[in-house]
Amino acid sequence: METSTATTGTSVKEKSDQQQVLDGSSIMGLVENDEVFSNFVDHKFKELDKDNDGQLSVKELKPAVADIGAAFGLLVQGSSPVSDNIYYEVLNEFTHGQQEKVSKAEFKEALLDILPGIAASLKRDPVVILRIEGEDLLDFIDGPSYDAEMVSVFSQIRCSDDDASLLDCIVKAFGKLTVDHGMPPCSDSWVMSNTVEPALKSWDGYDQGVPVSKITFLEEFRKVAKHVAQNLKEQPVIVAHSENTFDGRGIKRLLSNKFELNRSLNAALQNVPRDSHGKISTACLRVVLDEVAPSAGLPPIGAVEQIDQVVADVFGTIHADEGKMVKEDELKNLVTEILWSIMLQLEENPIAVSSNCVVHEPLESSSSVLQP
């Protein structure tokens, strides 16, 4: 998954062609209709129960877990420690961390716990499914903003690597384009090997020792980009795109609702280790904060670098994780203080991020657990 700050160009939100918006409404419509949901569970359970023994093994549950991860725009398992931890937690929701087999009733109960959370997340941060076919990229390179934006990109590349060749500059420039420019994320190896690299091989300047200048870069990048656009036309790329601004409003809502705050803290503290006197180490604060994060509209620790830095600054300011043993109420007060401090920093300096993840499986052929 590629994560970045807000970019220039035509915003994804302003585009309507070749896109689908996942906002959680269909999931809630499914969960709230008892008869439809029961039929849905019957169908999905039968689909997943490959050996027809009336129970789902961990192996049989993995496609459901993968589909739930895809709904959050997560990387495939094995690609990221953060994503892998979320996959692990979802699987634990089904198996309670111990069971090797899950009955239909347990499968249904777990979905009733998981799906509303996914729906709420998608409602707060909708995922836009884009089909990138090269037209937007052509519009950009032939449009009025091309020169100004690519000169800026060239300057950034030259500042970071003054010895970069023309080929290096072109490759790095593709990495700085976004879906707003009609370019899928080059951080994805499939995009590089099937879209960008073939375009470079078709480029007539590929083996030439062309001097690196601003004008040369603009002309040659345009040539390669046209080949990329043609490759995208022949092999469109589907991208799950989401945008989010962390400005502290989610934290403010949670802190203003004492009942919800206490409920979230109690749930987060449920499995935290305690000593013989029932005290808890402040070294557990990050774990507790990570558990409370969804209720506060915050991403998991490790998911957004800028948020991690804010959290680190707050912990450093109040010396939060020194490993002292405190009573449960004291720990709750510390978490509340941390949330207040994070909220104040985000109110003063909101953090805007966008995420793009290439969807390698065609949506229409997916057996997603989230689709009736």
Does 365 reside within a domain? no
- Work out the end-to-end distance of the chain between its first and last CA atoms, rounded to an integer number of angstroms: 26
Single residue among 91, 124, 157 that ends a domain in this structure: 124
The owner of tokens 């994320």 is 185
The count of structural domains within the chain is 3
Mean pLDDT, residues 300-322: 84
DSSP 303: T
Domain enclosing residue 339, as ranges: 247-354
Does 363 reside within a domain? no
- The pLDDT score that the predictor gives to residue 29 is 84
Single residue among 226, 242, 258 that ends a domain in this structure: 242
- Band (pLDDT 50/70/90 cuts) for residue 7 is very low
- Band (pLDDT 50/70/90 cuts) for residue 231 is very high
Does 16 reside within a domain? no
Q: Is the domain of 268 the same as that of 289?
A: yes
Does 367 reside within a domain? no
197-220 pLDDT, tens digit per residue, is 999 998 876 545 556 889 999 999
Single residue among 220, 242, 264 that ends a domain in this structure: 242
User: Lowest-pLDDT range, 28-32, 131-135, 358-362, 363-367?
Assistant: 363-367
Mark out the alpha helices in the chain (DSSP H runs). 25-31, 34-48, 58-71, 81-95, 104-124, 135-141, 146-160, 166-176, 189-191, 197-202, 214-234, 249-256, 258-269, 285-292, 305-318, 328-348
- The pLDDT score that the predictor gives to residue 365 is 37
- Band (pLDDT 50/70/90 cuts) for residue 8 is very low
Mean pLDDT, residues 140-145: 96
198, 227 Cβ separation under 8 angstroms = yes
CATH number, domain of 103, equals 1.10.238.10
pTM of the model: 0.59
Q: Which two tokens stand for residue 353?
A: 């991020």
Most confident of 112-126, 201-215, 220-234: 220-234
Does 368 reside within a domain? no
Query: Among 180, 227, 164, which Cα is nearest to 199's?
Result: 227
